[in-house]
Amino acid sequence: MTSQVERLTFKCTAPLQLGHSLHVTVPTNSHNITPLVPPPPISASTTGTIELHTTPDTYPVWTTTVPVVKGSCSSGPKPLNYRYCVKTTDGAGVKWEGEEISEHGGVVAEAGDEGILPESRSGRVGRRVVKYRSVAGARDDSGVITDAFEDGFDGPEYDESTKAWRELYAKPQKQRSNEGAGRIDFISDEEISRGEETSDRKSALFLICYHLPIQLWRDSGGAWRGKWQNSLLAKTDGSVADAVPTFWIGGVKIPGLTPSDERDIKAVCEAMNAHPIFIPQELHEHSYLGMCKQVLWPFFHNIDMLDVSTSGFGDNPAVEEARPGDAPSIWDQSRLHKKWWESYQRVNMMFADLASSVMRPGDTAWVHDYHLAILPKLLEKRQVREAGRRTTSTIFFLHIPFPTSQVFRELECGEWILEGMLSADVVGFHAFDHARHFLNASKRLMGLNYESKFGGLIGLQYRGRTVMVSTSHVSIEPTVMTATMKHSAALGVRDGIRSLHSGRQVLGGVDVAQKLSGVALKFLAYEKLLEDYPVWQRKLVLVQRVLTPRNRTKDEDQTLRHVRTIVRRIEAKHGAGCIDYKEAEGSELPVAERVGLWMATDVYFNSTIREGLNLGPLEYVYCRGGGVPGVVVCSEFSAACNILNGALRINPFDVQQTSAVLDKALKMGLDEKEKRRGRDIDFVSQRTASQWSRHVLRDLKEAVAASKEEDAGNVVSEGELLSFSHVNVMNLVSAFRSSSERVIICDYGGTLLSKEAPGKYLKRDISATSGRKPRPDVMSSLERLCEDPRNTVFVVSGVNRRELEGSLGSIPRIGLAASNGACFSWPSTAEDGAREWHAFQFGVDWEDVKAVAIPIMSKYAARTNGSSLKILDLSISWSYFSADPEWGAIQAKFIVPELQDKLKAFDVQVVMLKGQVEIVPKLLHKGVLVKRLLRELAAKNKKYPQFTMVVGDDKSDEPMFAASFDFLAEQVDPDFVAASSPSLPVALVTGGSGSFDSSDSKPPTRSPTPTLGRRLSHDTNLVLPPFKAESQYAYTITVGRKASNATEFLHNAREVEDLLVALAMADEGEHNKDIKKRLSTLSTESWDDQHTIDSSFYDI
């Protein structure tokens, strides 16, 4: 059953030194409580605590002078936990219960915390177990909590690294318990280095990739066997799997498997901590060979739609086999949804199904590469549906390049791909070029801003949380390379090349047969070298191996034809001995053959145009140790170019320059070769896959720590959301039925009206409410609620009053507030529905403000194409909705300080919003309006409302929640009205007239003649009714699970709509079973339905 409003007073006996002060802090949403000030950050500061007071007569008893309001919770009452602290005389130190005074303002870490706490800007603020007092048994009937301040006390343990009351709020999960709920409970860096496990570690790491890195085969007896492949993702000696429980999830593609074979392979893999996924052949062809290799791979390598369609980058049998005139357009991407894209979704769903069945809360999923780009989103959706929150951490690492935003936006499914990647906690790349393109795409396609974070990470703000972007490159496995260098197979390859080409220096390289490998450019440069430097014609050979994986056959065939033509031409000019060219099937050479080639090669030659992960140059550097070092000639477009400081860089398109660099490499002396290898060998030999894994996990650890630090100053941190409850609609309906005076206050865009999906243009994201209305069900429910005289319904929005009135003004008796509460209209009682609008007077001379601001804003509008000025009654804004978002944001950073400097003398503030810079009164926010509305209604009705519900979805709505609790607190102590806000702005009639007599303090009535400037009553003149102890319900609800002053949440605007439908039905006396039946037929879409694609997508 839903809980009622409680007003609590803290009374504590504490004999403190003269000048010291006592404070109390309460974790907010985790206990459904909203004090009048925000809670403290995890530090020694008393910011956000509630101060207690004493007098000479009452000392040493300290008491809160303002009641702390414990709001209603539809899911039932929750425990209240709190603790005290003492502020020192000079304010430099703080003593929390159970801790020592820290004079420098820091917190003394408890013993045993070393190596566990994540570093941050303010020091160690991570995992601290703090004991809180419990309110149970300490509160009397009048709501007074009586305590004594002391260091030693008993109470439930509260883990501030996750804010998780695990023993109170653990929920059963499928197959595994909810121990360790929340973010990943990291073991220390020191423990990872030692390879030791901690006794209290409860989380595991899951490596998820399309190809399971296990080689499977039948032995002589027909039994299936498996061993780890030579892969970046395989288990190796000293890997992170030795310290953290690690599991693998990946696809197995072996033709002709029977159900019995699949069972046997599954048993083999599970013995290796691996979970195989058997992907049907047709699904594999459409998803992997189709969507991944023909569409995503070229797009991610920066190939635009024209080249994909016409230049062999995308096989399209429909075009090639159709009769003339019947072939679809080369621009048509509809086939992606019909076949390839649908298969891609289904494969990702298969991975999501298996991962969700084996992972438990607190685990980490590390998803690899573009084949599974939407998997992080699918995992998040499943967790939110089943547990109401994210229960695991996710890393997504892309091993190929990321394209420019201009190319990426050509991809019809690009936004889904982007949203999938952004659903991870950390998104990783091998090179900053790739990360920069990802950041730009996020900004230009989805309007997301990013900033540098402490520790070198970059943070993207996405749906109320920070997604960290990192770059890190992996190197080779020295133990594998060393062993292979001694193997007879590798030595045989080396000796064979040297014997075959005795007396010649060797240029060596291995490339895949594709245009972007630049292998054709390599042969052109080699041809130019032999022509311009004839001395090398009898002293040099190019040993080139070209691989044909046969997953992009058209591109491979075209590339091979081109390369073979050039090879024949060079051999005809300079003899067959100058080239050793061979083709090999597969995506890589066997390791022994590669190592043998590197040991025989004097100069490694790479001419790639675009590539992601390529360990060839790094293997070469390592294999050329112990003798005469080799030289790496590397394309400036390769990822290795940014890693190998000793490499000679080339632009493969500049054939003349490339041939000159090759000549320099061939003539290089021993001393320079050794120095160049010396620059790179430390990185090459030390950044193993295990070390790289640790670095990426450390990035995740820092991302979580940074998120906690940012949340520490917020109303509630992410960990506290573990017990931040979802609204129980039926319990709330019961409270609504039992109340006679009800107030419903709702935000508009994002609350009553779903926001549009993020678009390729900033304007689509900004103007998400323009020209749109709520669904008919919502309009009907609002109208029915407004018809009941017991209800007062107000919609508060940031849009202007013309737009708001155009959308909702047709509903009789609904109250409207526009421009974030700057102007408002009481419910209209006129027969013609005409409204009277009122505006707050903030004491700002807008004519003088305009004289200063408009010239400055006009200057920036002139230099920023697409920007404009907008002048309203109580604000002036410069909008760059239609401008280039990046250029507009740059200009906004300059216009804000310039306006702030020129407007210092005025009682206004300059705020930077998404897509605009606005000048508004300093006191303006939605909380001003909410408090006035509640006070006016209480004064008019001579009683306080029994039921109050405030709903909003973003930061601008947070003051509404706080104001509603201020109103509840002041009901007990009317003098708190003047103490808390003695000078709220005066409201003026701005549309219609209507006198308003302050003596009876009632909403104005309409009169025929409009008059501007008629004064409403001051709050200090309101006659509030005496407080009566009776059932009272107050709900504050935010849309989306995030840091908020609200006590409960709904997942999305669709759930808000369903709630209003339920209240309207209850208002008309319908039975609960009918309401439940109606709700079950309403919203069936996913919790954040952003796109109107096929219904099976995300339907996990």
- Taking a C-beta distance cutoff of 8 angstroms, is the pair 223, 260 a contact? no
CA-CA distance, 895 to 13, in Å (whole number)? Answer: 53
Residues linked to residue 162 through DSSP beta bridges, in sequence order: none
Look at residues 72, 33, 38 and name the one whose alpha carbon lies nearest to residue 958. 38
Residue 290 pLDDT class (50, 70, 90 cuts): confident
Residues linked to residue 53 through DSSP beta bridges, in sequence order: 63
State both tokens at 333: 């991407």
pLDDT at 510: 95
pLDDT at 167: 34
Phi-psi domain of 105 (left: phi exceeds 0; alpha: psi -120 through 50; beta: other): left
CA-CA distance, 365 to 205, in Å (whole number)? Answer: 6
Backbone φ, ψ for residue 431 (5° rounding): -140, 150
Mean pLDDT in residue range 396-403: 93
Residue 1041 pLDDT class (50, 70, 90 cuts): confident
* Maximal CA-CA distance, the chain: 109
Q: Which residues contact 470 (CB under 8 A, 6 or more apart)?
A: 426, 427, 428, 429, 435, 456, 457, 458, 696, 699
HEC sequence for 13-52: ECCCCCCCEEEEECCCHHHCCECCCCCCCCCCCCCCCEEC
Mean pLDDT in residue range 996-1002: 33
Look at 10 and 276; give whichever has higher pLDDT: 276
Q: Which residues contact 33 (CB under 8 A, 6 or more apart)?
A: 26, 68, 69, 70, 71, 80, 1047
Backbone φ, ψ for residue 910 (5° rounding): -105, 120
Cα–chain-centroid distance for residue 966?
32
CA-CA distance, 639 to 652, in Å (whole number)? Answer: 14
pLDDT at 15: 85
Question: DSSP string covering 511-575, please?
Answer: EESSGGGTHHHHHHHHHHHHHH-GGGTTTEEEEEEEEE-SSSHHHHHHHHHHHHHHHHHHHHHH-
CA dihedral of residues 749, 753, 757, 760 (deg, nearest 10): -50
pLDDT at 587 over 90: no
CA-CA distance, 113 to 115, in Å (whole number)? Answer: 6
pLDDT at 39: 33
- Judged by DSSP in three states, 879 sits in strand
State both tokens at 144: 């007074």
Look at 828 and 810; give whichever has higher pLDDT: 810
CA-CA distance, 94 to 100, in Å (whole number)? Answer: 8
- Taking a C-beta distance cutoff of 8 angstroms, is the pair 58, 194 a contact? no
Residues linked to residue 139 through DSSP beta bridges, in sequence order: 145
Residue 36 pLDDT class (50, 70, 90 cuts): very low
- Taking a C-beta distance cutoff of 8 angstroms, is the pair 468, 427 a contact? yes
pLDDT at 785 over 90: yes
Residues 710-735 have pLDDT tens digits of 544 343 333 343 346 788 888 899 99
Out of 307-316, 426-435, 681-690, 924-933, least confident range: 307-316
Q: Which residues contact 286 (CB under 8 A, 6 or more apart)?
A: 339, 340, 342, 343, 344
The DSSP element (H or E) to which 634 belongs, if any, is strand 631-635
pLDDT at 90: 62
Helix residue ranges, H only, 134-181: 166-169
Terminal CA-CA length for the chain: 31
pLDDT at 1019: 46
State both tokens at 811: 């509903």
Count of CB atoms situated within 10 Å of the CB of 668: 17
Quick one: what percent of the chain has pLDDT higher than 70? 72
Residues 619-654 have pLDDT tens digits of 999 999 888 899 999 999 888 888 888 999 999 999
pLDDT at 768 over 90: no
Residues linked to residue 452 through DSSP beta bridges, in sequence order: 458
Q: If you ran DSSP here, which 8-state letter would residue 1099 be given? A: -
Mean pLDDT in residue range 351-359: 94
CA-based R_g, the chain, Å: 34
pLDDT at 128: 39
CA-CA distance, 99 to 772, in Å (whole number)? Answer: 55
Residue 419 pLDDT class (50, 70, 90 cuts): very high
Residues 90-138 have pLDDT tens digits of 655 667 765 543 333 333 333 333 332 223 323 333 333 445 676 644 4
pLDDT at 150 over 80: no
Q: Please, what sign has the CA dihedral across residues 668, 673, 675, 681?
A: positive
CA-CA distance, 508 to 624, in Å (whole number)? Answer: 13
Residues 884-934 have pLDDT tens digits of 777 888 898 899 999 999 999 998 999 887 778 989 888 888 888 899 899
CA-CA distance, 881 to 447, in Å (whole number)? Answer: 10
Q: What is the mean pLDDT of the chain?
A: 76
Angle between helix 375-387 and 341-358 (nearest 10): 50
- Taking a C-beta distance cutoff of 8 angstroms, is the pair 453, 553 a contact? no
Look at residues 695, 694, 717 and name the one whose alpha carbon lies nearest to residue 706. 717
pLDDT at 338: 67
Please tell me the pTM assigned to this model.
Answer: 0.67
Backbone φ, ψ for residue 560 (5° rounding): -65, -40
Residue 74 pLDDT class (50, 70, 90 cuts): confident
Buried b (16+ CB within 10 A) or exposed e, 66-100: bbbbbbbbbbeebebbbbbbbbbeeeebbbbbbbe
Q: Would you call 1016 exposed, middle or buried from its count of C-beta atoms within 10 A (0-12, 13-18, 19+)? A: buried
Using alpha carbons only, give the angle 442, 447, 452 rounded to the nearest 5 degrees.
60
Q: Which residues contact 802 (CB under 8 A, 6 or more apart)?
A: none
CA-CA distance, 619 to 1007, in Å (whole number)? Answer: 86
Look at residues 488, 467, 374, 471 and name the one whose alpha carbon lies nearest to residue 430. 471
pLDDT at 343: 93
pLDDT at 939: 86
Tokens 């597969």 map to which residue? 586
Residues 513-537 have pLDDT tens digits of 988 899 999 999 999 999 999 999 9
CA-CA distance, 796 to 749, in Å (whole number)? Answer: 9
Out of 37-46, 772-781, 911-920, 1074-1083, least confident range: 37-46
State both tokens at 786: 């407004």
pLDDT at 448: 82
Q: Which residues contact 596 (CB under 8 A, 6 or more apart)?
A: 489, 490, 491, 492, 493, 494, 496, 497
pLDDT at 878 over 60: yes
Out of 167-181, 257-271, 655-669, least confident range: 167-181
In a 13 Å sphere around the CA of 1095, the CA atoms on its Cβ side amount to: 3
Tokens 């492949």 map to which residue? 229
Type of residue at 224: W
Using alpha carbons only, give the angle 155, 161, 164 rounded to the nearest 5 degrees.
55
Residues 155-188 have pLDDT tens digits of 333 333 333 323 322 333 333 333 333 333 333 3
Using alpha carbons only, give the angle 397, 371, 210 rounded to the nearest 5 degrees.
90
